[in-house]
Amino acid sequence: MKVFLFIILVFLVGCDSEKIKPTISMDASEERIADYESWGTEVIFSELGDIQAILFTDHLRKYDSEKTTYLQGVKIDFYDEEGNPSTKLTSLKGRVDDITKNMFAIDSVVVKSDSGIVLETNQLTWQNKIRRITTDEFVTITSPDERIEGYGFESDQSLKNYKIYKITYSATVTDTLN
């Protein structure tokens, strides 16, 4: 009899007309969740065993459905055809197309070549297959001999052969110590 009364009591308590509804956080649904995420990551870009570039990033988020990887705190070491480091690129953010392996550097982009040329811009694309860097944005090129500013830029990844499409400023650097 006690068991029967206990079952009826549980049934009556469970039949309360006021249901408790769980709270649903809308914050999680607004932010995409990465398929893969890592911190302090190193990614090697190579073709037929030859290293083309090594990417270092503070934070990496990969989205398989978009075929895109997003980066925070980017540093890339580019290598020449002989496998020697030739150029370093840094930026605050970046994005990699996982199909083409093209990399888009975004925000405070600086590229330094081993020959002393420095490129500064706000956005830059590295085309993996042809090893070229391009932008339509404003750029500043500083070398030991000159400073050039303008819009639109294309170069090999070592900054040896570059073009600025619309030059807005050009000056020759002179040795002020002599």
- Domains of the chain: which residue ranges? 35-172
Q: Which long-range contacts (CB under 8 A, 24 or more apart) does 41-50 make?
A: 43/96, 45/101, 45/128, 50/79, 50/81, 50/83
164 and 138 in contact (C-beta within 8 Å)?
A: no
Tell the CATH topology of 35-172: lipopolysaccharide transport protein A fold (2.60.450)
pLDDT tens digits for 62-113?
999 999 999 999 999 988 888 888 899 999 999 999 999 899 999 999 999 9
Q: What is the pTM of this model?
A: 0.76
* Cα separation values, 61 from 26, 31, 58, 143, Å: 21, 13, 10, 35
Which of 47, 90, 87 shows the shortest CA–CA distance to 71?
A: 90
Structure tokens of 171? 């000056």
CA–CA dist 128, 26 (Å, integer): 39
- Condensed to tens digits (0 to 9), the pLDDT of residues 112-159 reads 999 899 999 999 998 988 889 999 999 999 999 999 999 999 999 889
